[in-house]
Amino acid sequence: MLERVRRLRQLIDESGVEAFLVTGIDNVRYLSGFTGSAGVLLIGPDEALLLTDARYTVQAGAEAPGFEVVTVEKTWLELLAELLQNRVYQLLGFEAAHVTHQQFLRMRELLSMVELRPLKDLVERLRLVKDEEEIRAIRQAVGLVDEAFPWIVDRIRAGRSEREIALELEFALRDRGAERMAFEIILASGARSALPHGRPSGKVVEKGDLVLLDCGVVCDGYCSDFTRTVLVGAVPEPWQEEIYQVVLAAQEAGIRMIRTGVLAADVDARVREVIAHHGYGEYFGHSTGHGLGVQVHELPRLGRFSEETLQAGMVVTVEPGIYLPDRGGVRIEDVVVIREDGAEILTLAPKDRLIRV
């Protein structure tokens, strides 16, 4: 953790401020190790403070070695104002994305001893490249879903509702040790599978339905993200088989391209090209993938407008889909680690053919 603070100090220095206020709770956890739900960090050249309230003082002391824990009595802003009285900082950076307008107005009022400067994505940029410890946690979160997948496949069948199946899956994932879901399970069958983010509904799964299942869990603070599409019934219709094969070919082409030095936008373009080549370009509306870590969506994005160059240690999803309105859709999503010479695929669940349940 202290290594992360050291790297952050370099960025703070480069951005021209003297101290930096971290209010995004995921960033607080990333930098300090503190897992509570309320806390902010003040990072200066020679100090690292964690401000939290009495519910968390003991926990913070144990989880965040290297940080001086200061207990908030009224509000963290009032405490911060007091702390800044005794310091010489003139320029204080804060996280533009993690301060509400209301908080900002209050900051301007109470922290008049400093000039406030909004900064963008400072900690998010640190989070781009994962260390092996973080990759281990992601691998564990991915493995947990992999393990539950055949179990849930056995429970997808005609006559059961989407909601029933999703609930069972959530139970199975929590039971296997997931800290929590990384996001609400997406499970959509039949024509509803054409909704890329379909919520499980009361709809009953029927024979001939494609069932799109997208879920992820959190282990040790790190997320996984996974999608497979299965077919209920023995024989796929030709269009179902075809879009499955096209999505698979596009996904594999994207993964094959991934290595250090490749532009994220080029991976997206390659995937899109395969889908467009088969005439389904207009049915793939979202981007190809996203980074994941302490949050399920983080940098880098694999999309048309991504500016990032892939680097070893980044972890991304590759998840193209084809969604035919009123008919159904297919998405396949794996998590990969970018290495010097290629992509290491963490997801092990089978995908080479349309699974029939």
When the beta carbons of 184 and 340 are compared against Zn ion, the nearer one is 184
What tokens does 161 get? 């509702």
Nearer of residues 172 and 315 to Zn ion, judged by Cβ? 315
Tell the smallest beta-carbon distance from residue 89 to Zn ion (Å): 40
What distance in Å separates the CA atoms of residue 64 and residue 22, rounded to the nearest whole number? 15
Nearer to Zn ion, 119 or 292 (CB): 292
Quote the least distance from Cβ 288 to Zn ion, whole Å.
10
* Closer residue to Zn ion (CB): 308 or 333: 333
Alpha-carbon distance 118 to 149, whole Å?
A: 43
What is the closest distance, in whole angstroms, from the C-beta atom of residue 289 to Zn ion in the complex? 7
Give contact residues for Zn ion (rule: CB under 5 A). 214, 225, 227, 317, 333
User: In terms of CB distance, is 8 or 255 closer to Zn ion?
Assistant: 255
- Name the minimum Å distance from CB 318 to Zn ion: 9
Closer to Zn ion by Cβ: residue 52 or 287: 287
Backbone angles phi, psi at 78, to 5 degrees: -65, -40
Q: Closer to Zn ion at the Cβ: 225 or 308?
A: 225
- Least distance in angstroms from the C-beta of 72 to Zn ion: 36
Distance CA 329, CA 271 (A): 17
Sheet holding 289-291, edge to edge: 298-302, 289-291, 315-318, 334-339, 342-345
Name the minimum Å distance from CB 307 to Zn ion: 20
Q: How far apart are the first and last CA of the chain?
A: 45
Of 209 and 333, nearer to Zn ion (C-beta) is 333
Say if CB 246 and CB 166 are below 8 A apart: no
Smallest gap from Cβ 150 to Zn ion, in A, equals: 19
**Closest distance to Zn ion from the beta carbon of 231 (Å):** 19
Residues β-bridged to residue 294: none
